[in-house]
A = this chain, B = another copy of it.
Amino acid sequence: MDAHTSNIESIDITKIREEFPILLRKISGQPIAYFDNAATSQKPLSVINAISEYYETINSNVHRGIHTLSEEATEAYENSREKVRRFINAQSSGEIVFTKGTTDGINLVASSFGTNVVGEGDEVIISEMEHHSNLVPWQNLCESRRAKLKYIPVNDKGELMMDEFRTMINEKTKLISVVYVSNSLGTVNPISEIIEIAHSFNIPVLVDAAQAAPHMKIDVSTLDCDFLAFSGHKMYGPTGIGILYGKEKHLESMPPYQFGGEMIKSVTYDNTVFNVLPYKFEAGTPNIAGAIVLGTAVDFMERLGHENIHNREMELLAHANKLFSEIGDIRIIGTAENKTSLISFIINGIHPYDTGSILDNFGIAVRTGFHCTQPLIEQRFKLPGTVRASFAFYNTFEEIDRLAAGIRKVKSMLL
């Protein structure tokens, strides 16, 4: 494969990049090479413009309003929910709850479902590679319930040790919450298998799909997961909006998480009757623009096609891997068979902070540090942090060439 041409004809990279105005920016006099996509993706014009369009044409509070704007905003809001339902192939739109983001969704489950099913002496299983957002809520739940939190171990390649996992389950296990794709290693976990095993013991599974949503087709019906959470801002959508999918039977059984407008059916001074799904979990005025425009982000991804996105990103990853292997003194953290387009690495003897600082001066944006997986990086891999370059389909081979050249320069400056 010629490293500098993509064999994906379905995405015209030059053209698609024009849809991302921020990619034209210069940093330190150089065009930006944005490799911090796992933290948040950039947004296409269709998404940016849809926000303006919402505010310029139909902005209004949703539900209960009988005037035209309110009806139009409500329709757009519910249409977006339906788009998301299709996007992840949920059974009903009552299972699609708009949240603030992945963290909000996981906290909702930990609070409303967790306290229902986890009692004293029980056990919750997560993994060693969880993002803080899928770790600290369970630490907190287990502490307050006097339950035990267990971690599926991670091998040196950054893969879950499935044999260990099997032995960790017992009759006290009440909940399993695992990340679909690791944000610091890139590992795509065998989530179907985990769910299958868990269900054979009747244990519900929450999937943290924050890093899966931007990169692969999610199918909650096929996965049969009990809950699944992701964020809009990582999948080309706006900030402040996310999705919690939950099986109807679970959502029905759970108490509301927040209380207020929208989530009630009727209120008296003595008593409140809660609303039906999904509204029971959407207290207060929602992020209306965010929710509607999340639908635009879904449209955008479906226009590109999951297959095309995946293929393009795999080519970028292969190119980067090839260049990195030629540089030397680089240690890649996370070398699983099944990975998304992300490389976490350190240059031997150089602190990630130094690497990131110098790369920034070449206009290259990488993330450095623990990537919100401090125990994984510090306790499991015994590192002071890593440098993470995470690619989106709109990155180019040339940008990756610049990254490789930048790393060589860092080495020559610091070693």
Contacts and interface: CB of A to CB of B under 8 A. Distances in A.
Interface in A36-58: 36, 39-40, 42-43, 47-49, 51-52, 55-58
Contact of A67 (B36, B51, B58): B36
Contacts of A260: 103, 106-107, 131-134, 136-137, 372
B375 A66 contact: no
A39 B65 contact: yes
Nearest to A263: B136
Q: In the assembly, how many copies of this chain are there?
A: 2
Contacts of A288: 40, 233, 239-240
Contacts of A202: none
A375 B268 contact: yes
Given A48-B52, A238-B289, A66 B283 contact: no
A212 interface: no
Contacts of A137: 258-260
A348 to B, nearest CB: 20
Contacts of A369: 64
Contact of A360 (B67, B151, B353, B367): B67
A406 to B, nearest CB: 12
Given A55-B48, A68-B365, A272-B136, A239 B22 contact: no
B107 A258 contact: yes
A284 B375 contact: no
Contacts of A356: 66-67
Contacts of A379: 268-269
Contacts of A267: 132, 135-136, 374-375
Most buried by B among A34, A40, A59, A239: A239
A21 interface: yes
A129 to B, nearest CB: 11
A61 B22 CA distance: 14
A198 interface: no
Contacts of A67: 27, 36, 356, 359-360, 364-367
Interface string A263-306: 11011110110000000000111111110000000000000000
A396 interface: no
A311 interface: no
A356 B47 CA distance: 33
A261 interface: yes
B65 A103 contact: no
A177 to B, nearest CB: 12
Contacts of A214: none
A4 B21 CA distance: 45
Interface string A362-403: 001111110010110011000000000000000000000000
A56 B18 CA distance: 12
24 contacts: A21-B55, A27-B69, A32-B69, A48-B56, A60-B365, A67-B360, A67-B366, A68-B360, A100-B284, A103-B260, A104-B283, A107-B260, A134-B260, A136-B260, A136-B267, A231-B285, A238-B289, A239-B288, A240-B288, A264-B374, A266-B374, A268-B379, A269-B379, A290-B290
Closest 4 CB pairs of A and B: A240-B287, A103-B284, A133-B260, A103-B260
